[in-house]
Amino acid sequence: MDADKLIGRDFAGVTLLSVHGRGHSGVVFVGFQKSLKRKVAVKLVSKANLSARSFMDEAEVVAVLNHPNIVTVFDVGQDDEYLFITMQLIDGTSLQSAIELSAKNPIPSKRRLPVTKVLRVMASVLGALEYAHRQGVVHQDVKPGNILIESQSYRPFLVDFGIARTELTEDESKYVHGTPIYMAPEQAKGGVTDGRADIYATGVTMWEALSGNLPAPVLPAVKLVAMKARNPEDFFRSAPSADNPHIDAELEYIIQKAIAADRDSRYEDCGLFRDALARYAERKFHERF
């Protein structure tokens, strides 16, 4: 997709103004909705890259979600070339960008995000996921790039519910949902997923936010998926505390429980995961959320 050439085009009454971000499944633009005179985010996906029926069905399901930590979907549609979703525009940055920016800080002690901020963000994310799961929606692609942080309030928003897909072509004949490093082993195997897959991905995301990186192998996506499916216990080369001395034994246990290879060994639901973080934050930092 040549995104720059799409600037100025109109999609269902929304004019594309600029490129806001790029992902493996599409491009997000800042658009102007003429009817309500407001800026919105517009995600475009080429029909050559994704099934129109799948995209439309899933987008319509996500559009009914109403939660303060989930980006609101305003409209969904298509033309001859593209599928599009019009949604709430967040003035902020992704958690991924925040992690990368911290890593570049000239002061070594500030090259990781503060633990308390990470815990607050992840607690909000888990609250959003708990709500979505009650509505029968599993995100399937929780990762730092899909968590947006509002600049003024530091309020986190989840985006891309159920939209992302990774199609494998080597030794695979099925679609696998998600991003390899964050996906749960049952996703990598192409099995049926439930809310515990989101718990796994949230655990990996929290680990990365706390440590600044993940000790995962650098391999093509197909090989990462195969490794996650066949030998999930050894996918990560070290424990969370190896990269951040501020991750104590209790916090490491919380992370390891969330990312257990066997989903029956993880937290049963996002509420229990969130409660564990809340109890830890209150004991360790005397903070409540």
What are the catalytic residues? 141
Return the ∠ at Cα 212 (arms to 181 and 92), rounded to 5°: 90
Task: Mention every residue, 6+ apart, whose C-beta is less than 8 A from residue 190.
Answer: 172, 174, 175, 176
Question: Contact 57/78 with Cβ under 8 angstroms?
Answer: no
| Separation of first and last alpha carbons in the chain | 42
Question: Contact 184/88 with Cβ under 8 angstroms?
Answer: no
Half-sphere exposure of 141 (CA within 13 A, CB side): 17
CA distances from 156 to 92, 153, 287 (A): 9, 9, 18
